[in-house]
Amino acid sequence: MGLNFLGIAIDAERNRRSDRLISGDTGGVIVEAIPTDEELMIARHVRQVLEPRSMAQEG
């Protein structure tokens, strides 16, 4: 089930604890969960698109 056919095994307990390494010991692939702040990145991109060109050149 899941991604086992790719050699990926997720350790549910590690994933629940939000560990960085979430792959299981039996998988052939190392899986890491990297924290991100998608909302901040989207807000920055929106601001960049909506910002007038003159202000963008000043900053």
Return the domain boundaries, the chain: 4-58
Band the pLDDT of 4: cuts 50, 70, 90. Answer: confident
Per-residue model confidence (pLDDT) at position 58: 59
Give the largest CA-CA distance in the chain.
55
The percent of residues above 70 in pLDDT, for the chain, comes to: 88
Model confidence pLDDT, tens digit, residues 15-51: 999 999 999 998 899 999 999 999 999 999 999 999 8
By CB atoms closer than 10 A (0-12, 13-18, 19+), residue 23 is: buried
How much is the CA Rg of the chain, to the nearest whole Å? 19
